[in-house]
Structure 1
Amino acid sequence: MKVENLPEPVKKRPTALLILMYLRKKKKGETITEIAEGINITEAAVSKSVELLNRHNLVEKTYGSGKKGRRTTVVKLKK
């Protein structure tokens, strides 16, 4: 995936680019909290950027159960 091929709104958001690089390096699904800790950015910023990436069909979101039965969002790259 080259930067030139990405949609314009994604190119303008550095957090979205960081998330794409992080997920590509990990090669598996990560929760929003794990991504935020991995790239040292707040969970709110990660969540907002994940929504943008999801809108442009670059990542997919799935839901799982985390600690104490709470719903967690797992994000992984689309193939």
Structure 2
Amino acid sequence: MIRKEVKDKYLTIEDINKPSVRIGVNSSGTNEEFVRQYLSNSNVTVVENNLDVPHLVAEGTYDVMITDTVEAMLFAKADPRL
């Protein structure tokens, strides 16, 4: 999940897997496993409370949140910046 204002910047895994890209991810789940396996070049921060990450992405603290589609749709509906 990303901010709408940068929707064309992060289109592929290659776009995200860069040291300059800040990823917020919840701890100890499949999303963290995915990030560790496929986005190892990114600047990754593990956030204990998963519900904090969408707001932090919307505010620009993180560029990307790795999550499932249903969760992303719910967060985007709640915050028009996403």
Instruction: Find the structure with the greater CA-based Rg.
Output: 1
For normalisation by structure 1, the TM-score amounts to 0.28
Q: Output the TM-score relative to the length of structure 2.
A: 0.28
Greater helix percent: which structure? 1
Decide which structure has greater strand share: 1
Which of 1 and 2 has higher RCO (CA within 8 Å, sep 6+)? 2
